[in-house]
Structure 1
């Protein structure tokens, strides 16, 4: 799909990958709704786009775990620009670490990292089927293909996001609906370093595991990769190509891969075993 003159909604658009996506989309001629829980950050991104880009942008504060907020984003896009062509389910949270995680923390991670995608698709896909086209981009993580040391909530919900994107692609791909799933490793965002600043040993483990596994990319590099994938209508978006090799190794010998991950965890924790 060409993004020129398309209408896009980007959640988590106030910073990081979301902000970079919004800017790149607008630069390519799209009209963008920049949404973020931090309405001020979203407004700043939209204002920068309108000053510098050939596209156009509006902003909104939104909690994408709430269906009503997603409905309002879609309505804003329709009122300002027209029907939504592309939806970027990009907002995410790191969640809690360890096994002793409260039901509330699990629910929050599930709501933001998974159910927000499901709710957006429920609102958009019927209309896209009628129009014969639409594009859903799910931001997961390499953790959704591999795992995340330290955080079960992040690992499990990102796996589920990949699974939902796969299901959407299979179920509606023959009806004009395109689906891509973004699975980067380390990206230079506040989210990446939040674990090391939390004072939580498992949070620090999560950050160090990602930063030690490969290059930490800038959000603009990731956004460029996403737009290339959309142009190709490619499902799996891997800004870190080595993730595919890791995924193949996992599938080829699951037990060996699990032993390797335990060994990697021990090395990060300074365990001499």
Structure 2
């Protein structure tokens, strides 16, 4: 899909990957609604964009897992720029560690990391199918292809996000709707560092699992890869190429991969022993 002139919504746009994606879209000639739970962060991100590309961005605060908030984002985009062409479902949370997540923590992890994608697609995809064009980009994670040591909620929700993106592509790809799934490993964001600041052994291991497995990329590098994939209409976006090798090893011998992951987990936990 060609980006210039398109109208996009980016959730989780107040910082990290979302902010970098919003800036990259504007730099390529798109108009962007920057959405974030932290409305002030969204405003700052939009102001940064507009300083370089005047009139290219507006900001909205709110919980993008809620249908009424997504409806508000779509209405704002239409009022400011025109019909929505692209939706970047980027907002995400880690969701806690171990098996001790409460029902509310599980609900929140699934709402933000998965159901927010489903609800946005329900609102946008039918109209896109009639129009014959649209682009849905799901930020999952390498955890959605592999796993996330320490965090069951994150791993489960991200696997489901990948599955939903696959389903969208299979079901609507022949209707002109392009779907991409962004699956980075370590990216220098606040989310990455949550575990090491948690004081929880599994949380600290979760951060180390990512930072020791490969390079930690800047959000701008991830955004650039995402833009290239959207323009090329590629489904799987892997800013860390090594993730593909890991994914192939997993599929080639699942039991060996599980044994290896258990060994890796032991080494991570032994750091604090």
Instruction: Give the structure-1-normalised TM-score.
Output: 0.98
Q: 1:81-160 maps to which residues of 2 (within 5 A)?
A: 81-160=81-160
Q: Equivalent residue for 1:37?
A: 37
Match of 1:64 in 2: 64
User: Secondary structure at 2:259's aligned position in 1?
Assistant: helix
Please report how far the alpha carbon of residue 73 of structure 1 lies from its aligned counterpart in structure 2 after TM superposition.
0.2
Asked if 2 retains the 8 angstrom alpha-carbon contact of 1:11 and 1:88, the reply is yes
Alignment partner, residue 242 of structure 2: 242
Task: Give the secondary-structure state (helix, strand or coil) at the position aligned to 1:5.
Answer: coil
The CA RMSD measured in Å over matched residues stands at 0.9
Deviations 1:185-239 (A, max 9, x none): 0000000001100111111110000000000000000000000000100000000
Contact 2:139/2:182 (<8 A) preserved: yes
1:259-270 pair list within 5 angstroms? 259-270=259-270
Unaligned runs of 5+ in 2: none
Secondary structure at the residue paired with 1:12? coil
| DSSP-derived class of the 1:214 partner | coil
SS in 2 for 1:213: coil
Separation in structure 1 between the aligned mates of residue 181 and residue 49 of structure 2, nearest angstrom: 25
The gaps in structure 1 that reach 5 residues or longer are none
1:33–1:73 contact (8 Å) kept in structure 2: yes
Paired residues, number:
271
Deviations 1:27-46 (A, max 9, x none): 10000000000000100111
The reply to whether residue 20 of structure 1 matches residue 20 of structure 2 is yes
Cα distance in 1, alignment partners of residues 45 and 3 from structure 2: 19
Q: How much does 1:154 deviate?
A: 0.2
TM value normalised by structure 2: 0.98
Q: Describe the SS at the equivalent of 1:138.
A: strand
1:71-97 Cα offsets, whole Å, 9 max, x none, are 000000000000000000000000010
CA-CA distance at 1:55 after TM superposition: 6.4
* Runs of 4 or more above 3 Å deviation: none
Give distance in 1, aligned partners of 2:86 and 2:147: 28
